[in-house]
Structure 1
Amino acid sequence: MSGITVRTLHHYEELGLLQPRRTRGGYRSYSAADLERLRHVLFYRELGMPLDEIGTLLDDPQRRPVDHLRSHRQRLQRRIDRLTEMLAAVDKELEADTMGTELTPEEKLEIFGAEYDPSWEGEAEERWGHTVAWQQSAQRTTRFSKEQWRAIKADGDAYLAKIAAAKRRGVDPASPEAMQLAEEHRAGVEVFYDCSYQMQRGLADMYLADERFSKTYDDVEPGLAQWIHDAINANADRHGAPAHDCTAWQ
């Protein structure tokens, strides 16, 4: 009935917490009063009270059963309050881990440099906010911490230096080496959203059509925007990807 073992019952008896009567056959017989006392013992034990303190409390003649219940309730309420505080702290940590930290304007300037323009965010959302790619990017980036953004920026800078070095060495955009660099480009994009070869073609076209993107590449190495455009398209051709069109972004 109580859910505890016979051994525990015997231990409580040895400590004087329970005093069942014995039958002629030597069996312990627990009365309704014994069960009520055991219920109090288990209540206090669940609250972490030492057994000797429980015995002292239960044997106090000045305390009525209702006093025990009030004491139970007070202790339980304190425990609930503490657990609620702990749960809130855990939820806060989980939220921080899951959602990451929104960068402040100062942090964006620090990480992305003086050339970063906050208006680009609004423009991008206006152009692509309805797309699956935008929704994926929004969901993923909210989990990024400041240090992750730093790492992403560092990886991007390292990649620009790598493709600039390839172009300076005269690597053909249609060569296996250049197409491998195009694969690395696509992997970098997929940090933010799933990028098919067809969608990657669209990005390559934008690097030439939008002078702001062209400048990002050409400031590192003149003609680099055209070079990575050609490498991306050569790699997409190798994989049989269709030509880019606007529906690829939907």
Structure 2
Amino acid sequence: MAMKVKEVADLTGISVRTLHHYDEIGLLHPEETTGAGYRLYSDRNLEMLQQILFFRELGFPLKKIKDIVTNPSFDRLESLTLHRKMMLEKRNRIEQMLATIDKTIQHAKGEIAMTRKEKFEGFDFSHNPYEQEARARWGNEAVEESNATLQGLSKEEQKVMGDRMNDIYIHLASLRHVLPDSGAAQAAIKEWYDFLNSGVVGHHYSLEAFKGLGQMYVDDERFTKNIDKFGEGLALFMRDAMAAFADSNKES
């Protein structure tokens, strides 16, 4: 049975205005709009709305959500599985921080003693476990440039950069079942190439280095595991897409 917009708002806890906005921007069109202008939402609409709200909970911007859910290769079940993994990671980080807060409160009351190390458990400043491999592969100069650039960014700038990286990974994950040398795949991998060479990581990747980086995504299981969190097989897809991009853009 179809639901009116006010009923959907009451059910989900989001506002009627928000639902209208989702309709206006093409993110969630109701199944039907009556002659009197009433929006009617089907069960299929509610499933999509749930998906959208999961993305919102994880901090995705509306434009990116629209790009993902309207992509012909979008797989709802696969996306839900990814959401679960990401939320479990988020929960684990929160639980670690809560444990540190609880211990700190007890320490402040004189109930327990905390070591210096314990006071900072749960904080994550994106330590890069692959730095040694990067140094060996691309040289110390490239790594030092990248580190210096990252350290010079504010926390907000680092967050923006992290969000942009996630957006690119998510977009690539949505395309990983198409041919790596297809137009869509190559346009998406160019975004990754342009991002790496935009100055935010402090180093310029030649086409050959870009191709080699893609190979490392597959050769090093830690890279593979990290990248495949966005979708199984993504690392392999990126390697092939990066190789195709490098080969097709070489100067003749």
Report the TM-score, using the length of structure 1 for normalisation. 0.46
Report the TM-score, using the length of structure 2 for normalisation. 0.46
